[in-house]
Amino acid sequence: MRGTGLLIANESVTLTSGAHMAVLGLGTWQARGRIAVNAVLRALDVGYRHIDTATMYGNEEQVGQAVAESGVPREEIFVTTKLPPGRAGRERATLKESLDALGLDYVDLWLIHWPPSGGARPDVWTRLLDLQAEGLARDVGVSNYSVRQIDELERATGRLPAVNQIEWSPALFDGDMLEAHRSRGVQLEGYSPLKTTNLRDPRLVQIAEERGVTPAQVILRWHIEHRIVAIPKSTNAERIAENAAIFGFELRPSEVEQLNGPTPARRH
Ligand code: A2P
Element (H, E) at 239: helix 237-244
Alpha helices by DSSP H, 91-228: 91-102, 122-133, 147-157, 175-184, 202-211, 215-225
Nearest residue to 197 (alpha-carbon basis) of 238, 133, 243, 160: 243
Residue ranges around ligand 1 (CB below 6 Å): 27, 192-195, 216, 232-236, 239, 242-243
Looking at the DSSP bridge assignments, the partners of residue 87 are none
> If you measure from the C-alpha of residue 210 to the centroid of ligand 1, how many angstroms do you get, rounded to a whole number?
22
Residue 204 has pLDDT above 60, yes or no: yes
What separation in Å is there between the alpha carbon of 153 and the centre of ligand 1? 33
Q: What is the mean pLDDT of the segment spanning 99-120?
A: 98
Residues with catalytic roles: 57
Beta bridge partners of 24: 230
Query: What pLDDT score was predicted for residue 261?
Result: 85
Q: What is the pLDDT of residues 206-231, one digit of tens each?
A: 999 999 999 999 999 999 999 999 99
Closest ligand 1 atom to 240 CA: 20
Average pLDDT over residues 172-200: 97
What separation in Å is there between the alpha carbon of 236 and the centre of ligand 1? 8
Residue 17 Cα to ligand 1 midpoint, Å, equals 31
Residue 266 has pLDDT above 60, yes or no: no
**For the segment 129-170, what is each residue's pLDDT rounded down to a tens digit?**
999 999 999 999 999 999 999 999 999 999 999 999 999 999
Separation CA 55–CA 156 (nearest Å):
26
Buried b (16+ CB within 10 A) or exposed e, 186-208: bbbbbbbbbebbeeebeebeebb
- Between the CA of 89 and the centroid of ligand 1 the distance, in Å, is 34
By CB atoms closer than 10 A (0-12, 13-18, 19+), residue 147 is middle
| pLDDT tens digit sequence for 14-73 | 998 999 999 999 999 999 999 999 999 999 999 999 999 999 999 999 999 999 999 999
Atom 10, ligand 1: residue with shortest CA distance: 233
Q: What is the pLDDT of residue 2?
A: 43
The pLDDT of residue 263: 54
pLDDT at 268 over 90: no
State the pLDDT at residue 199: 96
Atom of ligand 1 nearest to the CA of 169: 7
Q: Express as a percent the part of the chain with pLDDT over 90.
A: 93
What average pLDDT is seen over the chain?
A: 94
Q: Is the pLDDT of residue 126 over 90?
A: yes
Atom of ligand 1 nearest to the CA of 243: 23
Note the pLDDT of residue 1. Answer: 44
